[in-house]
Amino acid sequence: EISCSLVGSEMCIRDSNLIKRTLYLLLRQPESVLAGKRFEKAQRKYLKLTERYHTLEQLSNNIPSADVYMTGSDQVWGPTENGSYDSSYCLSFTKDTDKRVAYAASFGVSTLEEQDVKRMKEWLKSFSAISVRETTGLRLLTSIGILGAQHVVDPVFLLSPKDWNILIQDGTSPALDYVLVYNLGQVDESIKSCAQELARKHNLSILSIEDSTKIKYADKIVESAGPIEFVRYINCLLYTSDAAD
């Protein structure tokens, strides 16, 4: 039997127009709360979690027991909101004798500042295996002297359509044909243009799953989607227009 636990953390998304973003987030607070509750419900149902840690010190003083420690996926090795790097995502809280691996880790940047290179190399040099989800990550690792990493798919693609369909079998599908937009951060004009062209060409509605920016050109806006609802909208779409950092 294989058992694993996830150590939780929170991510903030940067936006240059702080005032507008703050007002928008305040206005959609009820929907955000509902989305958060749906996320937590899915967490409790499908994931085995450790207790919540808030600092590296807490992790170091109370290390979760495991045979292997794994980190990975979206921008775990990228800079935080203030530009610094959080070594806990590089498993710096573990002991030298612990086995560390990374699956589909992502930097979110293509280069590191000179002062960050030494620290990142020190944090990663003792990993037993490293894989990343982008070729830019491979090049970055090679540039700092971390060799032998593998390029792999994002974890979402490890499940088959049948696996995903099991998760969303209970629930109501959207009652319209649509182009699905998921725009992270500021409005991306290339996404907007692509979505509008697809909608015009195929006589479709534009449906936007909101992040931190209001997509005014969408015909329908979804502000309270949890993980299961998110997958259901993806499963029923005809076209998608999105961006990943």
Residue closest to 236 by CA, chosen among 190, 178, 185:
178
| pLDDT tens digits along 52-66 | 899 999 999 999 999
Pick 149 or 215 by higher pLDDT.
149
Judged against a pLDDT cut of 90, whether residue 125 lies above it is answered with: yes
| pLDDT tens digits along 154-166 | 998 999 989 998 8
Judged against a pLDDT cut of 80, whether residue 212 lies above it is answered with: no
CA distance readout (Å), 96 to 64, 71, 88, 92 = 15, 16, 14, 9
To the nearest whole number, what is the mean pLDDT of the chain? Answer: 85
CA angle 97, 101, 105 (to 5 degrees): 145
Residue closest to 93 by CA, chosen among 117, 123, 73:
123
pTM, 2 dp: 0.75
Could you tell me if 184 and 211 are in contact, meaning their C-beta atoms sit under 8 angstroms apart? yes
Task: Find residue 206's DSSP bridge partners.
Answer: 179
